[in-house]
Amino acid sequence: MKFIRDSIHGDIFLTQVEFEIVDTPEFQRLRRLKQLGMTYLVYPSANHTRFEHSLGALHLAGRVAGKLGLSEEDKKKIRIAALLHDVGHGPLSHTSEELLERYLNKSHERITGSIIRNSSISTIIERHGIEKKDITKLLQSSKIISGEFDVDRMDFLVRDAHHTGVGYGIIDLDRLINTMQIFKGELVVEEGGLKAVEALLVARFLMIPTVYLHHTSRIADAMFLRATERAIEEGLLRYEMLYKMDDYDVQNLFRNASGYVRDIGERFDERKLFKKACSKGWHELDAPLRDRLLKLRGRVEKLRKLEDEIAGDCKVASGYVLLDVPPLPYKEMRAFILRDGKLLRLEEASPLVKILNEAQKEQWDVAIYTPKERVEKVSKVELEDYV
């Protein structure tokens, strides 16, 4: 058994099969993928990677499996699944997910499954007597790996708060894990762990505007997305290679390009990002306009055409006006609290969760970005005239 020293969990112990997986090129690539993508432009110490996050998820998965009384065989599988849950991620955090889904019609979870089946990881897993289909099935269905209070979320909230220096990631992981159990086929938390669940959700609520949707990070992500699209259109990048690339590959691609793509790369290097010209929040937009804007998320060609129409009217070059429409701020949670032998939906058990769900709308806004020297002109744009 080997161990790796981690800044969050201390010593993380690895079995032989886990250690061999960690040493594969596919897993080592995660060392070169920043967990928070461009957020380092806001928080300079946010340079942690998907490599250490994946190790943290493995560690927590082992703890949860132990608490739930899973067999040693099932514990081995759930730890490996947690270790590999991000191996299909593209560069620069979740920003490239949009591109992978659009061009390859695959989520990063499906790409992860493909990597597990078709790389040296498959050989290692099978040599140790584990069916690779069992691992891919766990990635798709296990609430320990992907649920409302899964090991992925438990680790990244604490880790991201630590590395950004914000004080919102304080979660009682011990209490949360120690009050988990399987009840009628559902992963649930006993009532005694409700406050720990609430703390996790409050941490997420506070981290969203402070870190995950910080306006500077959103601007950088929007710039990266448009520049990468342009690189694909110009033949500088084959989209099927994107999930094999790391952050440094993308940066080098931008630096060695010309025209728009090179300009965006230089702006990243010099931190000369676009600025927010205007924005409108959830309650500032009427429902029909909100719906039309949200539909643009799945209609990229229409979105880019709209951006260029605004740019043309403002005498700005194509690609230098970006409309940012975040995903819906709220989705219904499938999470349960066990109280007196009965399952309660989390929203029923906790008035705080109901309040947080509604309050998430206050964190959502649509914004238009453009270079600093164009802000005054673009700030006069009324979305109603274009959408």
Domain harbouring 26, CATH code: 1.10.3210.10
Question: Angle at which helices 108-118 and 120-127 pack, to 10 degrees?
Answer: 60
User: How many CB atoms lie under 10 A from the CB of residue 171?
Assistant: 22
List, for residues 166-177, the tens digit of each pLDDT value: 988 789 999 999
List, for residues 280-332, the tens digit of each pLDDT value: 999 999 999 999 999 998 888 999 999 999 999 999 999 999 999 998 876 66
Instruction: Report if residue 179 sits inside a domain.
Output: no
Instruction: Report if residue 125 sits inside a domain.
Output: yes
DSSP structure string for 123-153:
HHHHHTT--HHHHHHHHHH-TTTSSTT-HHH
- Residue 30 · residue 143 · CB < 8 Å: no
Question: Angle at which helices 215-233 and 259-270 pack, to 10 degrees?
Answer: 150
Residue 43: φ, ψ to 5°: -115, 100
Residue 310: φ, ψ to 5°: -60, -45
- Residue 48 · residue 159 · CB < 8 Å: yes
Closest to 171 in 3D by CA, of 58, 56, 39, 43: 56
Instruction: Report if residue 9 sits inside a domain.
Output: yes
pLDDT band at 102 (very low <50, low <70, confident <90, very high): confident
pLDDT given at position 332: 67
Compute the CA torsion angle 24, 29, 32, 33 (nearest 10 deg): -130
Q: Kindly tell me if the per-residue pLDDT of 93 is higher than 80.
A: no
Q: Which domain holds residue 143?
A: 2-165
Q: 7 by DSSP, 3-state: which?
A: coil
The number of distinct structural domains making up the chain is: 1
Instruction: Report if residue 192 sits inside a domain.
Output: no
| Rounded mean pLDDT, 47-71 | 97
Which residues, other chains included, contact 130 with Cβ-Cβ below 8 Å and sequence gap of 6+?
17, 76, 77, 80
User: How many CB atoms lie under 10 A from the CB of residue 345?
Assistant: 14
List, for residues 115-145, the tens digit of each pLDDT value: 999 999 999 999 999 999 999 999 988 999 9
Q: What percent of the chain has pLDDT over 70?
A: 99
Q: 53, 59, 89, 108: which is the annotated catalytic residue?
A: 108
pLDDT given at position 180: 97
pLDDT given at position 340: 92
Q: Kindly tell me if the per-residue pLDDT of 35 is higher than 90.
A: yes
Q: What is the mean pLDDT of the chain?
A: 93
| Rounded mean pLDDT, 368-385 | 96
Residue 108 annotated as catalytic: yes
Instruction: Report if residue 35 sits inside a domain.
Output: yes
Instruction: Report if residue 8 sits inside a domain.
Output: yes
340: left (phi over 0), alpha (psi -120 to 50) or beta: left
Pairing of strands 180-183, 10-14: unpaired
Instruction: Report if residue 379 sits inside a domain.
Output: no
165: left (phi over 0), alpha (psi -120 to 50) or beta: left
